[in-house]
A and B are shown apart, each in its own frame.
Chain A
Amino acid sequence: MSDTHAQTVAYVRETMLPELEPPATERGVIKWMRENLFAGWFNSILTIFAAYVIYKIVVGALPWFANGIWTTDSLAECREILQGATGGCFSVLTERWNQLLFGFKYPDDQYWRPTLAFVVMLVSIAPVLFSHLPRKMLILTGLFPFVAFWLIWGGTILAPLVALLGFVAAYIAFKKVEHQSFAMGLLAGLITAIVVWFVGGFVSGAASNVLALEPVASRDMGGFMLNMILGTVCVSLSLPIGICLALGRQSDMPIIKWICVVFIEFIRGVPLITLLFVANVVLAYFLPPGTNFDLIVRVIIMITAFSSAYIAEVIRGGLAALPRGQYEAADSLGLDYAQATRLIIMPQALKISIPGIVNVAVGLFKDTTLVSVISMFDLVGMIRGPILASTEWNGVYWELWGFAVFVFFIVCYGISQYSQWLERQLQTDHR
């Protein structure tokens, strides 16, 4: 009786009793289930029905995965092993793995190049996505396009080096002349870049063996690599172009304004697939005869034009959502148009536009599969064409399309998760 004063008072508790657990029906799993799954008869019926559907799917799909065959060389062989039992012939994925990833014409012994480019991409995109990484890493991001071009297309390193040099020289020239006027700076930059590229073109043409990788032609690109190339290039081009279009549409200068409006409205009124056909066939007519304008470049131009028009509209929505006071405050502090746009208006407008931009980006990435209709062999094109048409794998639909679905889902879900994370990061108005 050490915790009571039994001598003086009949019963006084000195120590608190531990809290009792709530009854089982008010606790943990059971409580959660009662509130979320079985609240009311309608809810309960839905739950039971959904559980039944899930059960059916799992029971149907599980053996298909569990009995999957991963190591045969053809569908016939696979069927033989299965002997009529349920089971997926996933061996098509392992056997055609490289074709699915790189297309069927990329030289076998060079697969390491796009793979390396992919790894470098992951590293150089990181500082753009995560602002707490060291800012120095952005240098890597700037170099990436040139490195990637060299790795994937091959040829001498001088070609992308000259391109890079042109940009650097243009930037330096711009900085030197900028204080006179912005337009003069742009002009100086442009002229410098053209001179450097022109001169550099001769040099790299003459010395085409310097650090040369085996060249691979654009028409030999294929598989998921092609989707990734189109996706990354087009997204990273269409964002800045979209910003310019959105600003142009708000411009006070009528010519710029109308160019932007006509471009945006025209592109939005046309299906992407027709633009791709235009890129494939018609664009060639407009070019001077003899020029061999790369098909990938034409496709990139069309997809970029398409998505930048959509991004421009998304950003215009973001701009419209900004209160006028933000512009006025920036003006009243003496910031000029470029500064106000870059420091005050765009960061906020882009933040508002993130969900819309991500929507367009995800859509764009999925739309890269449309190039399969103009006989480019991206992942979908590979499956539809060379793989399903081959004698070995004719008839393996579920496994192949399931794989395509899986790969695209992973990438797009990743993008969408990132954007939600970014939105939370940028949340500054929590009180």
Chain B
Amino acid sequence: MAEAAQNLHISDEVAIQIDNMNKWYGTFHVLRDINLTVHRGERIVIAGPSGSGKSTLIRCINALEEHQKGSITVDGTLLSSDLKNIDKIRSEVGMVFQHFNLFPHLTILENCTLAPIWVRKTPKKEAEEIAMHFLEKVKIPEQADKYPGQLSGGQQQRVAIARSLCMRPRIMLFDEPTSALDPEMIKEVLDTMVSLAEEGMTMLCVTHEMGFARQVANRVIFMDAGQIVEQNEPEEFFNNPQNERTKLFLSQILGH
């Protein structure tokens, strides 16, 4: 399986460039000197103990959180406090949350067409066609007219993925997309993500699903205490971790 992932094309083009990025919450130093280059087509899994700053890192990439030092460049656009830049980057970067965050007052279809219609100014009809296309892709076109509250967790998360894809993002961020799900629903969401990866989507994924990391990732990043402690190809990362903290973490999460 690992070979399949390796065969996927990774271009030389840089999708995300993070240089010396630091972030504080008040006086608490959450992210320290983060340097990270993500090429187009890369599939990166971010792992690490709770509170290590994984969520904060990927939320900085679409400016849901502000960083205080260093620079983040997404798709050639420098993230600054300029609102135009931020909105542009956000419309190019899709994000999937742990708790789905679907809009409960809108139907599934409306959830998916909202941003294309208002941000991309896509005509309603076309937006609905795009939405149905992606809902078919995540295998729930028949739920289009229901409300999020009427769907199972796994279905909701697949809708959330479809909703992001409707904006035709060039990069997808996932923040523990499966950790609020029952075990039997995890697979359906992971399958969706795998097929997305196979289509060459640039993905950054915070997850504890190490099977997924082995199968899909071309790089695993390990974070601890706000730093990137180690990064490597999945095989190397799992079989031959260098850092003590990585070893401890892997033994805890794989060792049961």
Task: Show the binding face of A for B, using Cβ within 8 Å.
Answer: 323, 325-326, 328-336, 339, 343-344, 347-348, 351, 426, 428-431
Contact = CB atoms under 8 A, between A and B. Distances in A.
Interface string B113-144: 01100110000000000000000000000000
Contacts of B115: 333-335
A426 B101 CA distance: 19
Interface in B87-119: 87-88, 90-91, 93-95, 97, 99, 101-105, 114-115, 118-119
Where chain A touches its partner, the secondary structure class is helix
A339 B118 contact: yes
B90 A333 contact: yes
B224 to A, nearest CB: 25
Contact of A430 (B94, B99, B101, B149): B149
Interface in B132-173: 147-150, 163-164, 167
Contact of A348 (B88, B97, B104): B104
A335 B91 CA distance: 8
Top 8 closest A-B pairs, CB basis? A334-B91, A429-B149, A329-B101, A325-B101, A333-B115, A332-B95, A428-B147, A334-B90
B248 interface: no
B113 to A, nearest CB: 11
B118 A343 contact: yes
B64 interface: yes
B56 interface: no
Given A334-B119, A428-B148, 19 more contacts: A325-B99, A325-B101, A329-B95, A329-B97, A331-B64, A332-B64, A333-B90, A333-B115, A333-B163, A333-B167, A335-B114, A343-B118, A344-B103, A348-B103, A348-B105, A428-B104, A429-B104, A429-B147, A430-B149
Contacts of A429: 104, 147, 149
B118 A328 contact: no
10 contacts: A323-B99, A329-B101, A331-B62, A332-B62, A334-B119, A339-B119, A344-B103, A347-B105, A428-B104, A429-B104
B147 A333 contact: no
A329 B97 CA distance: 8
Contacts of A348: 103-105
A326 B103 contact: yes
A158 B254 CA distance: 80
Given A328-B97, A334-B167, A431 B64 contact: no
A114 to B, nearest CB: 38
A333 B101 CA distance: 11
Contacts of B83: 336
Nearest to B120: A334
Interface of B: 62, 64, 83, 87-88, 90-91, 93-95, 97, 99, 101-105, 114-115, 118-119, 147-150, 163-164, 167
B114 A333 contact: yes
A331 B90 contact: yes
Between A326, A329, A429, the greatest number of chain B beta carbons within 10 A of the residue's beta carbon is seen for A329
A329 B95 CA distance: 8
A325 B103 contact: no
A334 B85 CA distance: 10
Nearest to B107: A428
A333 B94 CA distance: 7
Nearest to A426: B105
Contacts of A333: 90-91, 114-115, 119, 163-164, 167
Contacts of A325: 97, 99, 101
Contacts of B105: 347-348, 351, 426, 428
Between A328, A344, A429, the greatest number of chain B beta carbons within 10 A of the residue's beta carbon is seen for A328
A70 B95 CA distance: 72
A230 to B, nearest CB: 32
A330 B99 CA distance: 14
B149 A428 contact: yes
Contacts of B95: 328-329, 332
Nearest to A328: B64
Nearest to B65: A328
Nearest to A342: B118
B71 to A, nearest CB: 21
B237 to A, nearest CB: 28
A179 B101 CA distance: 30
B110 to A, nearest CB: 10
A158 B229 CA distance: 75
Contacts of B104: 348, 428-429
A187 to B, nearest CB: 19
Nearest to A334: B91
Contacts of B90: 331-334
Nearest to A338: B118
Contacts of B99: 323, 325
Nearest to A429: B149
Given A326-B101, A429-B104, A334 B87 contact: yes
